[in-house]
Amino acid sequence: MSPTTLDRLPDTVVLQPGEALRAALDPATWLEMLEGRALLVSPPSWFGETVFTAKTVLNEGDVHRLERGGWIELSALAPVRLRVHAQARQQTAAVRPAEPRPVMRLVRLLTGS
């Protein structure tokens, strides 16, 4: 089964075994595993001259904080119910309207959409 890619995540994500979710998340986003077990592939990063991704197994009750923003992939190993906690944005009336998340803004620039 091919992964599902979402621009905006719902508060709670439900996946069945074998399903995967790809999403662009901002730094300091928290992933809370309410149920199940999943494999999380972190956003790519550089180590010297090599690009790598870290893989983490998340079990029921685990909470994972993303230090860096970017594309993650979450593959369900058992039925999953996951809550995504994005950092709240502060706005003032004098500031122009909120722009899309930085990662999605970059994706839109690169894809021309």
CATH numbers and ranges of domains, the chain: 4-88 (2.60.120.10)
Per-residue pLDDT, 110: 75
pLDDT (tens digit per residue) in 46-81: 888 898 889 999 999 999 999 888 899 999 999 999
pLDDT (tens digit per residue) in 8-22: 667 789 999 999 999
As a whole number of angstroms, the distance between CA 87 and CA 3 comes to 25
Q: Using a cut of 0.85, tell me whether the model's pTM lies above it.
A: no
pLDDT (tens digit per residue) in 21-50: 998 888 889 999 999 999 999 988 888 889
Q: Residues 6 or more apart from 85 whose CB is under 8 A from it?
A: 29, 30, 31, 32
Per-residue pLDDT, 28: 87
